[in-house]
């Protein structure tokens, strides 16, 4: 074979550059570097995991010659698997949520894959969800292999074998913090474990979009109500077994607007042609750096590129229509509703007596309120919880209210769009507004939103 050539495109995976952020990180003490995983052959960091996944499946006899690879994907894992399948002669069937970009769907079809699109706005265990449809298709397809990236230990294994060693060598061990978006957890988990084996003090920081379950679970231990968001490839409304949240030293939350505007800035100010999940990772990393104010080396993984989002993030009309550019404010933001509320946040401590909390709710004319344990959000309690408690007759009115705290709420920030709040309140009792430090700064209920919109219409 000619010198300098590789046998197949699969041997071209990896060796992606590490680039210092200059303009966007000028205001932080840390040196922030980005690992350009979007320069992998099929366009994402999932190229690291896909060959390892297939190698292991072949070794176990789960994937045989002429077989069909089936997977539920947001697009990038599908592209990585399709690339491997093209080289090795497998067929592919991919199932995607309908919020994914048309470019991603077209890319998978260009590889010769069959693509099935399912509704996004359903529960993860709904028969119509992309996860359940993928399971069904895998069961119905002869000689099929279900890659199952959210529950397949080979997912983080691929990054432990590839991304971790490469990043360690590339940084000379001088990395202090690794930041990555939280999806299935394979990238941060596999890479992070390898780095910690070499340097136990490396900090692992996950970035999670508003609407996903991870942030609230890490911060409060509760599974709150997820809701739909637009950034692709990160976050979830269920817990993949490939994601070990115990590895995290910190989780930072971002919203859609932050993700998309940062992606555009990365292209225009740093020359890095990246997509929304890369924007999310950098936005989260800069938030983390501003919080810690440490002089350290932060490495951010940039999972995929801009080409998959030309019809969305880099289309001004789409950005305006979805309220992500200033000239199209939409319904407004959570902060607009909070400005119209004159009273302070009414809450209960977990040790408060049930009778006192009932009195507090009655005195303030409210039907629900947050419950704190110290300064930490424990949960929420509503009239229906009190009623159920009293009807049971099993407990005293002098019992602590903390035992009644439920998880039927969602958390948002002051910058969350009201269109999202409107959607989440159709399924959750209330939206609890958290500041960057995790403290409660407000509560929004259905009547608060109705009152705001009524005043806005006059």
Torsion (CA) 134, 136, 141, 144 in degrees, nearest 10: 50
Domain 46-146 has CATH 3.40.50.1100: yes
| Cβ count near 12 (within 10 Å) | 13
Per-residue pLDDT of the chain (458 residues; tens, 9 = 90+): 899 999 999 999 999 999 999 999 999 999 999 999 999 999 999 999 999 999 999 999 999 999 999 999 999 999 999 999 999 999 999 999 999 999 999 999 999 999 999 988 788 788 999 999 999 999 999 999 999 999 999 999 999 999 999 999 999 999 999 999 999 999 999 999 999 999 999 999 999 999 999 999 999 888 998 888 999 999 999 999 999 999 999 999 999 999 999 999 999 999 999 999 999 999 999 999 999 999 999 999 999 999 999 999 999 999 998 888 875 557 888 999 998 887 788 999 999 999 999 999 899 888 899 999 988 889 999 888 888 888 877 667 888 999 888 888 999 999 898 888 888 888 788 899 998 888 899 999 998 999 898 888 77
C-alpha torsion 174→178→184→189, nearest 10: 40
Q: Is 366 exposed, middle or buried (0-12, 13-18, 19+ CB in 10 A)?
A: middle
Q: Long-range contacts made by residues 247-250, C-beta under 8 angstroms, separation at least 24?
A: 247/188, 247/189, 247/192, 247/193, 247/196, 247/204, 248/188, 248/204, 248/205, 248/206, 248/218, 249/203, 249/204, 249/205, 250/203, 250/205, 250/206, 250/288
Active-site option among 35, 46, 287, 312: 46
Sign of the CA dihedral running 208, 212, 213, 217: positive
Q: 441: part of which helix (H) or strand (E)?
A: strand 440-444
Task: Report the candidate in 93, 88, 68 with the shortest Cα–Cα distance to residue 9.
Answer: 88
- Distance between CA atoms of residues 357 and 301, nearest Å: 46
- Is 46 an active-site residue? yes
- Phi (first) and psi of residue 129, to 5 degrees: -70, 155
Q: State the pLDDT at residue 327.
A: 58
Asked if 401 and 381 touch (Cβ cutoff 8 Å), the reply is: yes
Give yes or no for a contact between 134 and 72, defined as CB atoms under 8 angstroms apart: yes
Distance in angstroms between the alpha carbons of the first and the last residue of the chain: 75
pTM here? Answer: 0.90
According to CATH, the topology of domain 334-457 is: CBS-domain (3.10.580)
Same topology, domains 46-146 and 334-457? Answer is: no
* Per-residue pLDDT, 108: 96
* Cα separation, 64 vs 62, whole angstroms: 6
**Residues across the chain:** 458
Vertex 212: Cα angle to 251 and 188 (nearest 5): 45
Q: CA quadruple 312, 315, 317, 319: dihedral positive or negative?
A: positive
> What is residue 332's predicted lDDT score, i.e. its pLDDT?
87
Kindly report the CATH class assigned to 10-43+154-321: alpha beta
Sketch the domain layout of the chain as residue ranges: 10-43+154-321, 46-146, 334-457
């Amino acid at each position: 074979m000619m010198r300098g050539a590789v046998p197949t495109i699969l041997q071209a995976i990896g060796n992606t550059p590490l680039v210092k952020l200059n303009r966007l990180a000028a205001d932080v003490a840390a040196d922030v570097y980005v690992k350009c995983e979007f320069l992998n052959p099929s366009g994402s960091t999932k190229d690291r995991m896909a060959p390892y996944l297939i190698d292991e499946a072949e070794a176990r006899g789960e994937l045989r010659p002429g077989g069909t690879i089936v997977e539920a994907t947001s697009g990038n894992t599908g592209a990585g698997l399709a690339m491997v399948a093209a080289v090795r002669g497998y067929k592919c069937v991919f199932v995607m949520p309908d919020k994914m970009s048309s470019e991603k769907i077209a890319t998978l079809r260009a590889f010769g894959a069959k693509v099935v699109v399912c509704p996004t706005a359903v529960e993860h265990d709904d028969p119509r969800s992309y996860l359940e449809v993928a399971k069904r298709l895998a069961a119905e397809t002869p000689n099929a292999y279900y890659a199952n990236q959210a529950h397949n230990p080979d997912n983080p294994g691929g990054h432990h074998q590839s991304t971790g060693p490469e990043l360690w060598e590339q940084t000379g061990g001088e990395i202090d913090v690794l930041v990555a978006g939280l999806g299935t957890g394979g990238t941060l988990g596999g890479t992070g474990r390898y780095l910690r084996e070499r340097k136990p003090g490396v900090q692992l920081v996950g970035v999670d979009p508003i609407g996903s379950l991870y942030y609230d679970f890490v911060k409060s231990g509760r599974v709150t109500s997820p809701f739909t968001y637009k950034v692709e490839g990160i976050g979830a409304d269920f817990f993949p077994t490939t994601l070990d949240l115990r590895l995290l030293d910190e989780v930072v939350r971002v919203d859609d607007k932050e993700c998309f505007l940062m992606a555009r800035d990365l292209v225009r100010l740093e020359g890095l042609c990246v997509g929304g999940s890369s924007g999310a990772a950098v936005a989260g990393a800069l938030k983390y750096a501003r919080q810690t104010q440490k002089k350290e080396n932060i490495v951010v993984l940039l999972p995929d590129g801009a080409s998959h989002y030309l019809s969305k993030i880099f289309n001004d009309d789409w950005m305006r229509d979805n309220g992500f550019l200033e000239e199209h404010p939409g319904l407004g933001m959570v902060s607009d509703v909070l400005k119209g509320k004159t009273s302070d946040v009414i809450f209960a401590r977990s040790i408060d007596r049930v009778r006192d909390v009932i009195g507090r709710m009655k005195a303030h004319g409210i039907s629900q309120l947050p419950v704190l344990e110290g300064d930490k959000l424990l949960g929420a309690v509503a009239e229906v919880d009190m009623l159920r408690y009293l009807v049971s007759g099993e407990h005293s009115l002098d019992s602590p209210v903390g035992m009644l705290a439920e998880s039927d709420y969602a958390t948002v920030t002051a910058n969350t769009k009201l269109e999202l709040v409107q959607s989440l309140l159709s399924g959750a009792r209330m939206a609890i507004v958290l500041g960057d430090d995790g403290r409660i700064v407000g509560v929004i209920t259905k009547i608060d939103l109705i009152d705001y919109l009524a005043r806005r219409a006059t």
